[in-house]
Structure 1
Amino acid sequence: MSEHATSFKPSLRLFDATMIVAGSMIGSGIFIVTADITRNVGSAGWLIIVWLLTGFMTLTAALSYGELSAMFPRAGGQYVYLKEAYNPLTGFVYGWSFFAVIQTGTIAAVGVAFSKFAAYLYHPLSETNYLLKISTGLSEAGVPGYFTISVAQIVSIILIAFLTWTNTKGVKGGKWIQNIFTSTKIISLFGLIIAGIIFFKPEVWNANWTDAFSMKKLSGTGSVEGVIGASILGAIAASMVGSIFSSDAWNNVTFIAGEIQNPKRNIGLSLFLGTFIVTLIYVCANLMYVAVLPLHDLAFAPQDRVAVAAANSMFGNAGTYVIAIMIMISTFGCNNGLILAGARVYYSMGKDGLFFKKAATLNKHAVPGWALWAQFVVASLLCLSGKYGDLLDMISFVVVIFYVLTIFGIFILRKKRPGAERPYKAFGYPVLPALYILMGTAFCILLIIYKPNFTWPGLIIALLGIPIYYVVSSRKNNSNIE
Structure 2
Amino acid sequence: MSNSKKESKSDLSTESKSSGVKMKKELSLLDGVAIIVGVIIGSGIFVSPKGVLLSSGSIGQALIVWVLSGILSMIGALCYAELGTMIPKSGGDYAYIMEAFGPLPAFLYLWVALFVLVPTGNAITAITFAQYIVQPLWGNCPAPYEAVRLLAAATTCILTVINCYNVKLVTRVQDIFTATKIFALLIIVAAGIYYLCTGHVEHFKDPMEGTKWQPGYIALAFYSGLFSYSGWNYLNYVTEELQDPYRNLPRAICISMPVVTIIYVITNVAYFVVLSRDDILSSEAVAVTFGDKMLGSFSFLMPLFVAFSTFGSLNGAIFASSRLFFVGARAGHLPRAICLIDIKRLTPVPSLVFMCIITLALVIIEDVYTLINYVSFVEALFIALSVTGLLYMRWTRRDWNRPIKVNILLPIIFFIICAFLVTFPCYVSPVEVVIGSSFIICGIPVYFITIGWKNKPYWLSKIFNDFNNGCAKLFMCVPAEDDLIKDL
Structure 1 residues 238 and 312, CA gap change in structure 2 (3 angstroms): same
Amino acid at match of 2:430: P
State whether structure 2 residue 239 is matched by structure 1 residue 257. Answer: yes
Tell whether the 8 Å contact from 2:338 to 2:348 is kept in structure 1 after alignment.
yes
Q: Deviations over 1:286-337 (max 9, x none)?
A: 1111222223323x3332x222222222113642x22211111011000001
Distance 1:265 1:478 in 2: 44
1:208 to 203, 211, 222: 203
Residue of structure 2 equivalent to 1:331: 310
Structure 1 residues 435 and 215, CA gap change in structure 2 (3 angstroms): farther
By how many angstroms is 1:26 displaced?
Answer: 1.3
State whether structure 2 residue 45 is matched by structure 1 residue 30. Answer: yes
Residue of structure 1 equivalent to 2:263: 281
Tell whether the 8 Å contact from 1:92 to 1:469 is kept in structure 2 after alignment.
yes
Unaligned ranges ≥5, structure 2: 1-14, 462-488
Q: Deviations over 1:333-361 (max 9, x none)?
A: 00001110111111111111110111111
Residue of structure 1 equivalent to 2:352: 372
Residue of structure 1 equivalent to 2:9: none
How do 1:83-122 residues align onto structure 2 when only pairs under 5 Å count? 83-122=98-137
Amino acid at match of 2:283: P
Cα root mean square deviation, aligned: 2.4
1:185 to 181, 187, 193: 181
> How many residue pairs are counted as aligned between the two chains?
442
Residue of structure 1 equivalent to 2:338: 359
Amino acid at match of 2:172: W
Structure 1 residues 349 and 411, CA gap change in structure 2 (3 angstroms): same
By how many angstroms is 1:464 displaced?
Answer: 1.7
Residue of structure 1 equivalent to 2:401: 421
Q: Runs of 4 or more off by more than 6 Å in structure 1?
A: 1-4
TM-score normalised over the length of structure 2: 0.85
Tell whether the 8 Å contact from 1:201 to 1:291 is kept in structure 2 after alignment.
no
Amino acid at match of 1:97: V
Amino acid at match of 1:213: M
How do 1:47-62 residues align onto structure 2 when only pairs under 5 Å count? 47-62=62-77
Task: Name the SS for the 1:362 alignment partner.
Answer: strand
Distance 2:452 2:404 in 1: 37
Distance 2:339 2:90 in 1: 11
Tell whether the 8 Å contact from 1:301 to 1:309 is kept in structure 2 after alignment.
no
TM-score normalised over the length of structure 1: 0.86
Residue of structure 2 equivalent to 1:163: 159
Task: Name the SS for the 1:256 alignment partner.
Answer: helix
Structure 1 residues 346 and 392, CA gap change in structure 2 (3 angstroms): same
Q: Deviations over 1:75-103 (max 9, x none)?
A: 21211011101111111111111110110
Task: Name the SS for the 1:200 alignment partner.
Answer: helix
Residue of structure 2 equivalent to 1:268: 250
State whether structure 2 residue 387 is matched by structure 1 residue 412. Answer: no
By how many angstroms is 1:109 displaced?
Answer: 1.5
State whether structure 2 residue 421 is matched by structure 1 residue 437. Answer: no
Q: Deviations over 1:3-27 (max 9, x none)?
A: 9853220010011011111111111
Task: Name the SS for the 1:302 alignment partner.
Answer: coil
Residue of structure 2 equivalent to 1:400: 380
Amino acid at match of 1:342: S
Tell whether the 8 Å contact from 2:48 to 2:227 is kept in structure 1 after alignment.
no
1:20 to 35, 38, 42: 35
Residue of structure 2 equivalent to 1:243: 225
Structure 1 residues 27 and 420, CA gap change in structure 2 (3 angstroms): same
2:275 to 283, 293, 297: 293
Tell whether the 8 Å contact from 1:160 to 1:376 is kept in structure 2 after alignment.
yes
Segment of structure 1 superposing worse, 40-49 or 348-357: 40-49
Tell whether the 8 Å contact from 2:216 to 2:426 is kept in structure 1 after alignment.
no
Distance 2:171 2:377 in 1: 30
Distance 1:165 1:65 in 2: 30
By how many angstroms is 1:201 displaced?
Answer: 6.1
Distance 2:334 2:242 in 1: 24
Task: Name the SS for the 1:249 alignment partner.
Answer: coil
Distance 1:392 1:4 in 2: 43
Residue of structure 2 equivalent to 1:137: none
By how many angstroms is 1:382 displaced?
Answer: 1.2
2:361 to 370, 381, 386: 381
Task: Name the SS for the 1:120 alignment partner.
Answer: helix
Structure 1 residues 8 and 32, CA gap change in structure 2 (3 angstroms): same
Residue of structure 2 equivalent to 1:143: none
Residue of structure 2 equivalent to 1:343: 322
Structure 1 residues 392 and 293, CA gap change in structure 2 (3 angstroms): closer
By how many angstroms is 1:36 displaced?
Answer: 2.9
Give the number of the structure whose residues are more often helix, by fraction. 2
Distance 2:277 2:361 in 1: 38
Amino acid at match of 1:102: L
Tell whether the 8 Å contact from 1:83 to 1:91 is kept in structure 2 after alignment.
yes
Residue of structure 2 equivalent to 1:147: none
By how many angstroms is 1:440 displaced?
Answer: 1.2
Distance 2:371 2:60 in 1: 30
Structure 1 residues 258 and 477, CA gap change in structure 2 (3 angstroms): farther
